[in-house]
Chains A and B, each alone.
Chain A
Amino acid sequence: KAGVTQTPRYLIKTRGQQVTLSCSPISGHRSVSWYQQTPGQGLQFLFEYFSETQRNKGNFPGRFSGRQFSNSRSEMNVSTLELGDSALYLCASSLVLAGGRSAGANVLTFGAGSRLTVL
């Protein structure tokens, strides 16, 4: 079956611009979570969506937002880009609420990521 698809794979933006990243989860997966990965901060959780509702949120400013559609596809948006937003943005999908405590929670399938460079 198809894996998690993220688009675009690479993009370059300038400070002050905004960017929208897309994530298509594995068919049947209802949870999509987003992560920012940088060399200095490692893999940091942004937020999780399940059945079109934000269910969990990391410690990021309001410039980072997301949404999930009825087909479980998700988008994240970063407004007023800063140099420090340069990172690999990863999304992951799972069958159950990824942040839950049932068996299968935390079993995530990641996409290849979107590499954002802010100049």
Chain B
Amino acid sequence: LAKTTQPISMDSYEGQEVNITCSHNNIATNDYITWYQQFPSQGPRFIIQGYKTKVTNEVASLFIPADRKSSTLSLPRVSLSDTAVYYCLVGDMDGGDLLTGGGNKLTFGTGTQLKVEL
């Protein structure tokens, strides 16, 4: 059962702001929302994590509405080097910690392929 839904792909131009939205209707009360960036033939790289409202770091902002059923990763002024696949990750109620029964199977979903052009 898929726990996150993202657009398959997005196109943008250098210098624009890009917003990628992830839907996670079944998010649990204690789950955090985490975003990753992946370049071809490399492992994903942590971008940002949040629980509610807004989180900002040096590379991105994460907006989470009050109901937490979605989140939006905002990339300001993208460049060609931001062309990558972006994944959102939230807790997955299927499975869990074999010892305590909690936790998740770390389901990444299909991700969003962002293509930035000149």
Are A45 and B107 interface neighbours, CB within 8 A?
yes
Nearest CB of B to A24, in Å: 14
Task: Tell me whether A115 and B98 are in contact in the complex, defined as CB-CB below 8 angstroms, given that A42-B110, A99-B105, A99-B106 are known contacts.
Answer: no
Q: Does B10 sit at the interface, judged by CB under 8 A? A: no
Kindly state the separation between the CA atoms of A55 and B103 in the bound complex, as whole angstroms: 9
Our count of residue pairs bridging A and B at CB distance below 8 angstroms stands at 93
Q: Does A56 sit at the interface, judged by CB under 8 A? A: yes
A106: nearest residue on chain B (CB-CB)? B34
A54: nearest residue on chain B (CB-CB)? B98
B97: nearest residue on chain A (CB-CB)? A55
Kindly state the separation between the CA atoms of A43 and B45 in the bound complex, as whole angstroms: 13
Contacts of B45 on A, CB cut-off 8 Å? 110
Are A112 and B49 interface neighbours, CB within 8 A?
no
Task: Tell me whether A100 and B42 are in contact in the complex, defined as CB-CB below 8 angstroms, given that A33-B106, A42-B111, A58-B105 are known contacts.
Answer: no
Option from B28, B43, B44, B89 in Cβ contact (under 8 Å) with A101? B28
Kindly state the separation between the CA atoms of A111 and B45 in the bound complex, as whole angstroms: 9
Interface range for A: 20 to 34
Are A108 and B91 interface neighbours, CB within 8 A?
no
B106: nearest residue on chain A (CB-CB)? A45
Are A107 and B104 interface neighbours, CB within 8 A?
no
Task: Tell me whether A57 and B103 are in contact in the complex, defined as CB-CB below 8 angstroms, given that A43-B87, A90-B43, A113-B43 are known contacts.
Answer: no
Question: Chain B, 87-118, contact with A by CB distance < 8 Å: what is the 0/1 string?
Answer: 10111000111110011111111110000000
Query: Which residues in chain B, 17-37, are within 8 Å of chain A measured between CB atoms?
Result: 28, 30-32, 34, 36
Q: Does B46 sit at the interface, judged by CB under 8 A? A: yes
Kindly state the separation between the CA atoms of A88 and B41 in the bound complex, as whole angstroms: 8
Residues of B within 8 A of A (CB): 28, 30-32, 34, 36, 41-46, 49, 51, 87, 89-91, 95-99, 102-111
Contact sample, A vs B, 28 pairs, CB 8 Å cutoff: A35-B108, A43-B87, A43-B111, A45-B105, A45-B108, A53-B99, A54-B98, A55-B98, A56-B105, A56-B106, A57-B98, A57-B105, A88-B41, A90-B43, A92-B43, A97-B103, A98-B106, A99-B104, A99-B106, A100-B102, A101-B30, A101-B102, A103-B32, A105-B103, A107-B46, A107-B49, A108-B36, A108-B46
